[in-house]
Structure 1
């Protein structure tokens, strides 16, 4: 899990990156929750997502948005953070020019940024959105959603009501040519507390079925 520093739009950005040993491995970018609410790349949900992708054989990165940790710049209400995510994806693609697939995943605010990145980068082939803030952030830009993926939410989330996320998932699942699954984790709050292992299991099972046959073997 080596530390990396790469160039972003407003200066250096700090990340952690694991490179797969497999040739042509898929890549995944993981985005953290709101910087103004203590969100960093070391958030427990982000950490769990990172290692779940790595165990599936991905080359995977998580990083700190501008103004967080050792990343330069200041919070920019989402627009700058989207540019940061694009720079992170550029860096990953430069290191993995023959990657078989490209995925993006985010938690809370990071899920909102991840879905915007999905709309702007046609090479992204799948997404995992955890606790997207559908009650407070606008997701109407997903018209239509260009890639299949899964939305995972806790039924005890007291920050983002489950009903608001279910409504978003239902809207996206009506679109043709893609499939958007929706998984509810019983007893989980917004931060998934004691259900982190359950969350990781849901992500792993989804990846096992969604990836191309050549990429599904775990532990390689």
Structure 2
């Protein structure tokens, strides 16, 4: 996996991103969104990098942005509203800069706070008549409802993964979100919010899901 840094432009200034490239010719791309910026969340979070490695292993370019106020990204935390708007800008700019990769498979993934931005980004794209929607949505440690500002529509094959003993977002909260939308939930026994000691299992789940695209 080769990494390079790039800056996209969001509505509040720079969006500081890492791009992780697969060893072979890319077959598409992935946008991977990090946890809560005010609680240490950043693009180098171990769950985010685990998702990225799974994506690059399946031939995707993985884009890991820092949200507003994190690293060299401009602006301040905006409770998922501004962050979602910024990601819409990023998608448009990535598509223009890398049309070949953007024409391939597209995976949208998020962890914790990042799941709320991911789900609402997907919903916004699905509501636009001519927008391309992601081919897969993966939500880990889902906290969609905590930062929801619009109606959320997610695909039937959304991958929801949650830790059995998540101390930040209780499993019951993820189950409520899934129940309302008729989605299955993959529960990793004894796993905490940050999946301590379960990253290998988590990566295997991601790889299996990505292999089906």
Q: TM-score range by the shorter chain?
A: 0.7 to 0.9
Task: Determine if the alignment matches structure 1 residue 22 to structure 2 residue 38.
Answer: no
- After TM superposition, list the pairs within 5 Å mapping 1:68-217 onto structure 2: 68-98=70-100, 99-122=103-126, 123=132, 124-133=134-143, 136-138=146-148, 141-142=151-152, 144-146=153-155, 148-173=157-182, 180-209=183-212, 211=213
| Moved beyond 3 Å, runs of 4+ | 134-140
5+ long unaligned stretches in structure 1: 174-179, 212-220
Instruction: Please tell me whether the aligned partners of residues 126 and 147 of structure 1 are also in contact (alpha carbons under 8 angstroms).
Output: no
Give the whole-Å Cα distance in 2 for the aligned partners of 1:191 and 1:90.
Answer: 31
5+ long unaligned stretches in structure 2: 127-131
Q: Which residue number corresponds to residue 66 of structure 1? A: 68
Give the whole-Å Cα distance in 1 for the aligned partners of 2:80 and 2:204.
Answer: 29
Instruction: Please tell me whether the aligned partners of residues 125 and 147 of structure 1 are also in contact (alpha carbons under 8 angstroms).
Output: no
Instruction: Please tell me whether the aligned partners of residues 110 and 139 of structure 2 are also in contact (alpha carbons under 8 angstroms).
Output: yes
TM-score (norm 1): 0.85
Over the aligned positions, Cα root-mean-square deviation in angstroms equals: 1.9
Q: Secondary structure at the match of 1:201?
A: helix
TM-score (norm 2): 0.87
Aligned length: 202
String of CA shifts for 1:46-78, please: whole Å, max 9, x gaps.
011111101110111001011101111111121
Instruction: Please tell me whether the aligned partners of residues 79 and 147 of structure 2 are also in contact (alpha carbons under 8 angstroms).
Output: no
Instruction: Please tell me whether the aligned partners of residues 154 and 162 of structure 1 are also in contact (alpha carbons under 8 angstroms).
Output: yes
Q: Which residue number corresponds to residue 176 of structure 1? A: none
